[in-house]
Structure 1
Amino acid sequence: MRYLKLLALLPLGFALGGCDFVVLTPAGDVAAQQRDLVVIATVLMLLIVVPVMVATALIAWRYRQSNTTARYTPDWDHSTQLELLIWAAPLLIIICLGAVTWMGTHLLDPYRTLGRIAADRPTNPDLKPLEVDVVALDWKWLFIYPEYGVASVNELAAPVNRPLDFKITASSVMNSFYIPALAGQIYAMPGMQTRLHAVINAPGNYRGFSANYSGAGFSHMHFTFQALADGDFDQWIAKAKSAGASRLGRQEYLALERPSENEPVRFYTPVDEELFPAILNMCVETGKMCTSEMMAIDAKGGMGLAGIGNTLPLTYDKLAARGAVFGLEPSYVAGGVCLPGDQVGRMSDASTIVPAPVDGTPLRGYGLARPGSARKSSTSFLFGRSSKSDS
């Protein structure tokens, strides 16, 4: 029977043999530091977990019912030494975990520029980081290299031992940009920009994907990250420029943005320099106000009635404007500037607005008599019947 149990565990061993332990053996310095943080935290917690599990098994064995030689102390209720051990050990572990977590949180902040390339190699202040603009689409990845004027779909390349500066956003729903060999996952959200500073230290092809469910094509939303030597990266840039099918401007982006799955790798060149800011501010479409402009207007107190002519022609629902399946027809709302009466037709000229006449009739609530009149019984209004007035 014992051998049958061991035999039943063999399939589990074969299944674990196919696991990729890239998180524990990363190729980037940032990911290696994160790995070390996970290992240190795990070991510190095991210092408490393992002794507790061993003590539980020993106590259960020593004081089992069949052991009649065990010491019987029914009146025992306190031990100062045991209390110190129980409370001091976890407290020390928590202090160590807090210190390690605090330092790791600040040193591994994805928005923080790198201070080193590797454990024994500081960054070169004269070496400019490679900037990559990342856009999570449905369901593919767009990478823009503003320094070289090229863009790629579902393929990312970077030179080894050069700091990388990622600016990340999304087109519609939240995704998560994750290359386990490079660094931890960073969320990609529409209308927002997140950052990631990282470095890759070993050449090779690594897997990147979205770690946040984003719809039907989520399982196909992965890409290849190529870590290349400097000369090989220059060749990759040259290949991207020569293989660029077309220019990537606003109209080309709107066509690329439409939901699709299993998109092949392709390149664009040149790339509109204002495209990524327009994607970030959700104003790729012509005639749509950017969120940065909206925030600037709101910071100054709004536009008032004089700005109605500027806001009414704008299309705020981009999905409806692009003919989405569940979208509505483009519509405009001016509810914040309506006045009593038919005044909407005269909004174009603020000087022609005529105030509505004021009704001098006193306000009456349900169950309340007019001011100065006799008060009625509350039960009459509760049951909808009239009653005699109270004096």
Structure 2
Amino acid sequence: MIRIKYLKFFLLPAVAFLLTGCNAVLLSPSGDIAVQQRNLIYLATALMLIVIVPVIIATVVFAWRYRASNTSARYEPDWHHSTKLELVIWSVPLMIIIALGSVTWVSTHLLDPYRPLDRLDAKRAIPAETRPLTVEVVALDWKWLFIYPEYGIATVNELAAPVDRPISFKITASSVMNSFFVPALAGQIYAMAGMQTMLHAVINKPGVYEGMSANYSGAGFSGMNFKFHGLDDAAFDQWIESNRAAADVLDRGAYLALERPSQNDPVRRFGSVDPELYDAILNRCVAPGTVCMRDVMKMDAQRGSRKAGEMHHSGMQGMPAPAQAGINLPFEGDYIGDLCSFSEAQAVARLLPQARRTALAQP
């Protein structure tokens, strides 16, 4: 019993000591967007404590004041209403809700990840001559691909940016959904196949920061991490040159090999990149002979504006219409001819009459 009695005096300091090893990066960020998001956490917590703290104190005071042994406490069994108390009970939460709603509405617009930055931090505006750094981000299974179109290089599982220069991220994925997240830089943004999300951010302090996927995506998710380097201008230029010196080339064939699922991949560097690769990844037409999504959507938008026998030329410029190629389509209605070859269309033309006869013969 004596040991248990004294154990409580050591338990709290021990827990506090263990918590000193935690890296509360969300509360000590290095990028202006993350700083503003942290301030929102502080503000929202403070507003909610306006209710929580008085309620906790009142609970303790009432429990002590009206305990069974306190015979001097005033006993009023017929009390049922107080206008002043009702005003406090309803007005304080209402004001907190109004304040939280106003802050949420303003911050939702100011911190919109698609909105270009208008400042480097709370004290500095962006210089007029500053050009944002564009980084194209691709979430693979299970690694991250970063393409720098301005410099013609790419890296796997390593990201770098100069301090105090706005960064414009364009984010997509090769297959399942992931979430691009550098806690010291800004909030998480989802990466989805066939879609592009965006994030505008800036890093204000040099350092090496953790990056990760914040959305579970399968067996290799736990190793889907990367390092984000905040560098001064000279160090960033050196980093770019070291990547340009890499012998590997990221063309479409290399990308198709890279996108195969793999786990715990090391950092890789590509000294040159196909300038149209990211657009092909986004439109899911990296593989040879694949129709790009933008062309499919364009053809789908035109659906209904063509008559049978006419060819939709989007994605197949210069190809003749089916009738000019000797294809006689025995059906009427709208279709998208670009999605099949002429030999496939001929096969459909031969099969449809037989299929119709079979359907008509059935009772």
Both structures adopt the same fold (TM-score exceeding 0.5): yes
1:140 deviates by 0.7
Tell me how far apart the structure 2 counterparts of residues 360 and 174 of structure 1 sit (CA, whole Å). Answer: 48
**Which residue of 293, 296, 307 maps to 2:295?**
293
Q: Which residue of 2 aligns with 1:347?
A: 349
**Pair 1:123-2:151 in alignment:** no
| Structure 2 counterpart SS, 1:282 | coil
Q: CA deviation at 1:12?
A: 2.3
Aligned with 2:250: secondary structure?
Answer: coil
Look up the equivalent residue of 1:249 and give its one-letter code. Answer: D
- Offset of residue 126 of structure 1: 1.8
**Mapping of 1:270-289 within 5 angstroms?**
270-289=272-291
Q: Which amino acid aligns with 2:284?
A: M
Residue 182 of structure 1: how far off its partner (Å): 0.5
The answer to whether the 8 Å contact 2:154/2:273 transfers is yes
Residue pair 1:150, 1:270 contacting (<8 A) in 2 also: yes
Structure-2 residue corresponding to 1:79: 82
Could you tell me which residue of structure 1 aligns to residue 194 of structure 2?
191
Could you tell me whether the CA contact under 8 Å between 1:308 and 1:347 is conserved in 2? no
Measured in 1, the distance between the counterparts of 2:277 and 2:214 equals 25
* CA deviation after TM superposition for structure 1 residue 64, in Å: 1.2
- Cα distance in 2 between the residues matched to 1:189 and 1:273: 21
Cα gap change, 1:110 to 1:67, in 2 (>3 Å): same
1:261 maps onto 2:289 in alignment? no
Q: Residues 191, 346 of structure 1: CA spacing in aligned structure 2 closer, same or farther, 3 A cutoff?
A: closer
Where do 5+ consecutive residues of structure 2 fail to align?
312-334
Equivalent position amino acid for 1:139 in 2:
W
Equivalent residue, structure 1, for 2:339:
311
Q: 1:229 aligns with which of 232, 242, 247?
A: 232
SS at 1:20's partner residue?
coil
Equivalent position of 2:218 in the other structure: 215
Equivalent residue runs for 1:104-183 within 5 Å: 104-183=107-186
Contact 1:309/1:348, CA 8 A, preserved across alignment: no
Residues 24-33 or 294-303, more deviating: 294-303
Contact 2:299 2:336 in 1 (8 A): no
For residues 151-203 of structure 1, the C-alpha deviation after alignment (integer angstroms, 9 at most, x for no partner) is 00111010010000000011111111111110011111111110000000111
Q: Which amino acid aligns with 2:43?
A: I
Q: State how far apart, in whole Å, the 2-side matches of 1:346 and 1:98 are.
A: 59
- How is 1:296-375 mapped onto 2 (pairs within 5 angstroms)? 296-301=298-303, 310-312=338-340, 345-347=347-349
Shift of the 354–59 alpha-carbon distance from structure 1 to 2, 3 Å rule, reads closer
Measured in 2, the distance between the counterparts of 1:355 and 1:29 equals 65
Are residue 38 (structure 1) and residue 41 (structure 2) matched? yes
Retained in 1: the 8 A contact 2:32–2:120?
yes
How big is the alpha-carbon RMSD for the aligned residues of Structure 1 and Structure 2?
2.6
Partner of 2:58 in structure 1? 55
Identity percentage over the alignment? 57
Deviation at 1:359, TM superposition (A): 6.7
Q: Mind listing any 5+ residue stretches in structure 1 that lack a counterpart?
A: 315-333, 338-343, 364-391
Matched, 1:91 2:119: no
- Alignment match of 1:26 (pick from 25, 29, 33): 29
Q: Are the structure 2 counterparts of residues 9 and 309 from structure 1 closer, same or farther at C-alpha, using a change threshold of 3 Å?
A: same
Give me the whole-angstrom Cα distance separating, in 1, the residues matched to 2:224 and 2:65. 55
Q: Partners in 2 of 1:99 and 1:44 — Cα distance?
A: 12
Cα distance, 1:308 vs structure 2: 6.2
* Partner Cα separation in structure 2 for residue 110 and residue 42 of structure 1: 23
1:205 aligned to 2:201?
no
What SS does the corresponding residue of 1:9 show, helix, strand or coil? helix
TM-score (norm 2): 0.86
SS of match in other structure, 1:151: strand
CA displacement, residues 105-146 of structure 1 (integer Å, 9 cap, x when unaligned): 100000000010111111123211000000111111100000
2:250 maps to what in 1?
248
In structure 2, give the amino acid aligned to 1:101.
T
Aligned to 2:327: none
Q: How big is the shift at 1:17? A: 1.3
| CA shift for structure 1 position 349 | 11
Partner of 1:8: 11
Question: Helix, strand or coil for the counterpart of 1:239?
Answer: helix
- Cα pair 1:27 1:181 within 8 Å, conserved: yes
Structure having the higher Rg: 1
Secondary structure of 2:7's partner?
A: helix
